[in-house]
Chains A and B, each alone.
Chain A
């Protein structure tokens, strides 16, 4: 009675037409496990993803765990000892480096294990090098060396002189850098101006933009916009994206002057 008089007409008149506004239609309701799983995964992915990663597909934030947030809490704390700052920065940097290496190209390779079975694996790219932006970037060299034995590491020094254009004063890069994939190292991405200058230099040396992976510990949204707009095929790997820059171009909440804290020159 109720069904015929209200439910059915209301469905036909109001509910059914609204179907055209949906993004997906789920047939068979709650029994459709494939579709429910699909939607749950989608929501999870979207929640876990920073907005900037949706805009720039080449920005990767390493998967956050409580351990990673705990390490960030330690290194960002102004009360932490120098010893702990270096220890936890090193652990985080190691994770960023490992994640960054995961973006290098590969070739398939089959090997035989000691049990006599075949394992279909990969052979990873051997033509690579690091380039650290002096001084903070040098803090990332140890982690890179710990992962890639005997890796070549070039250096770029960009002199900071107010905000009226920055000047490059030093560079020393491997001669065959244009044939290599480059891991560009700088723990803090702030405005992106010095990063852009360093990337520009690498491109001038003949390194294809898509062969550069820029590794950060923390990145400001302003810096990500600045770098990704200019170099859309470069990849950025970072462990956290911060809130913003303040009027002095420092990352907020940030972690202060990374170089001073890491190298102990802040007294």
Chain B
């Protein structure tokens, strides 16, 4: 039991998405923090965490503290980069961490340490955050905030005197001795590593909006959708994830399993229908106005892969009245070959768009066999839309590599297949659970 628990925890960590890491660099008081805060506030429904490089300053020794005004805070060596790297490593694996709480008046970290939970987006900000190549390699996006040096100096004076209680002469002295040379020697050269340079700092709404939209899109996109442009995952909402949580749960009753599987299938079918071709049409509404709309493709049919695929027929019929539905039965287990046992398809299928139905795409072997049957009947590859509830990456690779013009619509992409070619985390034997023919009794 213990070993099973341990294995499950590992799987859970794999399921967690690798966070999207953004680095924000720029000279002192260039508006880095404001830019970060604007990004965070616009990503309100995502889990975002901001980690400042300043938290990783080496604490000053008593000796250094006496000559604090001479200490160079603008040099790469002032930061404990090793600690930052180890913190990032933990976060990447979905583990929470404590980061130092650096006090700018005492120049050392104070208790309590700041707790940082694993997040979908991690923003790293700091003057020299783009300096170390090991940290740069962690970043999905590198931003450099570029503001005029006189604007930055003015802001720096205000911040250090008002917020950090420092003497103006010391601030100016530090600026000319360390801050300015540090900028020229170390910070400005890192600008060349940036993917995007934001001029005018935080006043630049367009740039912030652009970055936020990009992060949103990237977060919502599965890596495989970036590789195969014909793989579409329906937009995930908490409701959809909630339904998945129910259908995937081994303890869900048959009644609830069917109910929520049906709701999810309906959404997949609706999304799949959205990929059919159309022609423009203008109509007159009851108010006498013209509405420019579309007429959708009427030459279509469904083909279900027996048995699980038949669970998707109801949803298809609910959307397309009187639609023709063909059937394909394929036999074969594991890695052995697949055989066509039975097929009954509309005789004019070659002239129709085909919605191929199978709720679980595992190895892709049966799907490839079914698609080859359709092609042999004269259906063009690009006229097939394959609908899944869950898909394993292995199956997507197999099908998309072999049939690059076919479209796949799915509601979630799972982690992997296990050695028995079951989808992990998956939802078990879909057909047995949907049709109530499962013999297995849950042990707990």
Contacts and interface: CB of A to CB of B under 8 A. Distances in A.
B8 to A, nearest CB: 4
Contact of A66 (B237, B267, B296): B296
Nearest to B226: A37
A61 B333 CA distance: 45
Contacts of A19: 199
B248 interface: yes
B242 interface: yes
Interface stretch (A22-30, A129-137, A160-168, A169-177): A22-30
B214 A41 contact: yes
B238 A102 contact: yes
Nearest to B7: A116
Contact of A120 (B16, B293, B294): B16
A112 B249 contact: yes
B194 A27 contact: yes
Contacts of A111: 245, 248-251
Nearest to A246: B287
Contacts of A250: 287
A70 B291 CA distance: 11
Nearest to B291: A253
Contacts of B15: 118-120
Contact of A26 (B4, B196, B266): B196
Nearest to B191: A27
Contacts of A118: 8-9, 11-12, 15, 425
Contacts of A256: 285-287
Nearest to A69: B294
Would you call the interface of chain B mostly helix, strand, loop, or mixed? mixed
Given A41-B213, A65-B274, A114 B285 contact: no
A252 to B, nearest CB: 5
A78 B285 contact: yes
Given A111-B245, A116-B4, A121-B248, A32 B287 contact: no
B198 interface: yes
B286 A78 contact: yes
Contact of A73 (B196, B295, B425): B295
A115 B418 contact: yes
Interface of A: 19-20, 22-27, 32, 34-35, 37-39, 41-42, 45, 63, 65-70, 72-73, 76-79, 87, 91, 94-95, 98-99, 101-106, 109-124, 146-147, 149, 243, 246, 250-257, 261
